[in-house]
Structure 1
C-alpha cells in the first residue's frame, strides 16, 4: 500500500541564474522546467512498470517521486538549463531544452535529502513532513532514497547513451554523489545532535563539510553538466575549463552556505520562511565556529553550557555571545570580501570554444550565479 498522500507544498518562485531576465521571464522559465517533470516522471514509471512489479509497488514509487522531487525551489535544476543557454548564446531548441531539463532533474533527484532527514531526525522539508515521517514510510525511506539515485542513471542512459559524452555524465553524477556522501559523514560524526562537543568544531572542519556537502553538488555539478552537454574541452592550451569552473563555484558555494548559516541566526521567520534551528540542533555552522575562534574563556564557557540544548533560554544565551563578538560585523566584512574576490575571478574567465564550435564558456554564467546569491535575504 502506498503511503498516505500528502501533496508537495509549492515554494515561492526564485530567481533563475540569468539575472538579466525580467520577473515574468523568470516565472515562465521556471514553469517550463516544471512542466517537463510530468514527462520525466511518466518515463520513470513506465520503465519501473516494465519490470513486472506489482501495482502497489508502482503506486509507492509514484508517491515517492512526486513527494520528494518537484516541491523545492529548483534552483539547481534551472541552473543546468540556464547555463546551457548561456554557453550556446541562443534560445535552445525543444530537443536541447528537454535534454538540459533531464540533466537538471537529475540534480533535483536529491536522494540524499531523504536519508539525511532520517539520520538527522528532521521534522519538515520544503514545508511538509519529511518523507520518513509520512505514515507507513519510516525506514523504507532508506530504500526510496536509493531508488531516487537510480533514477538519474535510468534517465541518462535513455537519453544520452549514444552521445560521445555519455560516460562523462555518468562519472559527474557518481563523483558528486561520492563527494556529497563524504561530506555527510564528516558532518554526522562532527556534530551529532545528541552529543554536544564543541572541541570538535573549527572553521577548517566547517569548510570541509560545506565544500563536500553543498558546494560540489549544488554549485559545481549544474554548471559542469551544462559544460559537458555543450562539449567544453577538457583542456585548451594551458586552460582547463572545468578547473576554472571549480575554482569559482566551490568558494561561491561556501559563500552561499555561510550566508545561509548567518540568516539562520539573524533572519526572521517571515524573512527566511522558517525558524532558525542551527543553535538548538548543534549544527557545525559558520556562526558558532567564527565565534569560537575569537571567544574569551568566559564566552566559551557560555557556549559549552548552552549550545545544542533544546531550550529557548539556552539559545538566547548563545545568541547573546554571537552579538558580543560582533558576528554581524564579521559577516558583513566576509560577504564584502567574498564578493570582491569572486567578481575578480569571474572577470578573468577566458572565452573557450566547445569541441564542435557550438558553444562558448562565458563568464556570464558565473556572474549570474554570484548576483543571484549576493545580498540575498532568504
Structure 2
C-alpha cells in the first residue's frame, strides 16, 4: 500500500472518532447544542491537517512488528491509537501557539487567533486531551495492554510538559539573556518537549499492541528514537528560519520569540565579540529590522552550511545505531521507516 493510500485510510477514520467523543459528551454529560457545535469545530479545526507522520507511524510500526498485513480490526485499532497521538499533538499545539503568540498553524490562523475563541482556547486544549481517553476507553478497555497505554500516555504528556516548561523559563519573551542558551539545556528541552511524544510514543504504542514485553526492546527503541527526535527538532529550528511558509504551513517566529533555538546557539558559539553584540541588540525583538539583522548575521556565519554538515553527521550516527541493533530485539525497519520521513524534509 502506498503512503497516499495509507493516509487516505487513516483520514477516513477521523469523523468516526469525533462522533464517538461527541456521543459521550452529549449522551453521558448532557452537553447542550451550542457546546456541541463549539467542541466539534474545535476538534475538526485543530486535530487533522498536519503531516500525520506520528499517527501513521503507529500503523506502520505495528505491521512491521507483526511481520504481516494487518487484519481489518487490527488496522482500525492501530489507526485509533495513531489518532490518539495526533490528538495529543493538537492539545500541545493549541496551548503552545498561545504561549508563543504564534499567528498561523498548518496554513491557517491559530485557533486562539479566531476572534470568537481567544482565551477559550485554553480550555479547548484540555477538551482535546480529555477526548483521547474517551477513545482509549471505548476501543481498548478490554485489551491486556490498556493500562500500559494509559501509563505511557500520562508519562509522555508529563515529560512533554516538563520540556515545555524548561523551554519557556529558559527564554521568557520579556527577559532576554543569551547566557542561558546552552547546547546542554537545548538537548534537554528537545528530548522532553519533542522527541518523546513525536518519536518514542508511536513506536512504544505499537510495541504494546504487538505484545512486546522485553524491557531491552523498549530501551533500544528509546535510545534510537531520542537521537532521531533531536535531529527532527534541530531541523524544525532550521526550517523556522529558512523554510518557505507556504510549504511548512506557518510563519517562523523563533527569533522574535526569544527561542532557545539550535541556530542561535550555533551563532553564539561561532560569533566574535562584535557579532555577539548584534545578537544581543536584535535577538528577541519584534520589529522586522531586528529580525533581518539576526538573519543577516546567520548568513554571515554560514549557518545553512553548518546545518547541512550537522545533518550528514546525524544521519551517519543514526545509521550506525540502527546497524548495531540486535534484530532479535526489534526489527531495524521500524527505524529506517522513520528516517526516510524526516531526513532532507522541507516541511
Give the alignment's TM-score, normalised by structure 1: 0.87
Aligned residue runs from structure 1 range 133-152, under 5 A: 133-152=113-132
| Alignment RMSD | 1.6
User: Quick check: 2:100–2:257 contact (8 Å CA) kept in 1?
Assistant: no
The answer on 1:97 being equivalent to 2:66 is no
Aligned residue runs from structure 1 range 305-320, under 5 A: 305-320=281-296
Partner of 1:41: 18
Aligned residue runs from structure 1 range 79-94, under 5 A: 79-94=57-72
Partner of 1:213: 193
The partner residue of 2:320 within 318, 338, 344 is 344
Q: CA deviation at 1:271?
A: 5.1
Aligned residue runs from structure 1 range 139-178, under 5 A: 139-178=119-158
The answer on 1:74 being equivalent to 2:52 is yes
2: CA distance, partners of 1:215 / 1:192? 22
Q: CA deviation at 1:273?
A: 4.6
The partner residue of 2:86 within 100, 108, 125 is 108
Does the C-alpha gap of structure 1 residues 47 and 269 become closer, same or farther in structure 2, counting only changes over 3 Å? closer
Does the C-alpha gap of structure 1 residues 164 and 273 become closer, same or farther in structure 2, counting only changes over 3 Å? closer
Q: CA deviation at 1:121?
A: 1.5
User: Quick check: 2:322–2:335 contact (8 Å CA) kept in 1?
Assistant: yes
Partner of 1:365: 334
The partner residue of 2:220 within 239, 244, 247 is 244
The partner residue of 2:213 within 228, 233, 236 is 233
Partner of 1:118: 98
Aligned residue runs from structure 1 range 153-302, under 5 A: 153-235=133-215, 240-269=216-245, 272-302=248-278
Does the C-alpha gap of structure 1 residues 135 and 312 become closer, same or farther in structure 2, counting only changes over 3 Å? closer
The superposition leaves residues 323-375 of structure 1 with CA deviations (integer Å, 9 ceiling, x where unpaired) of 3333223212211111111001111222347xxxxxxx311010111122112
User: Quick check: 2:111–2:121 contact (8 Å CA) kept in 1?
Assistant: yes
2: CA distance, partners of 1:54 / 1:274? 34
2: CA distance, partners of 1:202 / 1:119? 22
Does the C-alpha gap of structure 1 residues 268 and 182 become closer, same or farther in structure 2, counting only changes over 3 Å? same
2: CA distance, partners of 1:146 / 1:278? 25
Deviates more, 1:157-166 or 1:131-140: 131-140
2: CA distance, partners of 1:256 / 1:339? 11
* Structure 1 stretches lacking a partner, 5+ long: 1-20, 354-360
2: CA distance, partners of 1:270 / 1:59? 30
2: CA distance, partners of 1:70 / 1:327? 33
* Structure 2 stretches lacking a partner, 5+ long: none
Partner of 1:377: 346
Deviates more, 1:122-131 or 1:218-227: 122-131
- Higher share of residues assigned helix: 2
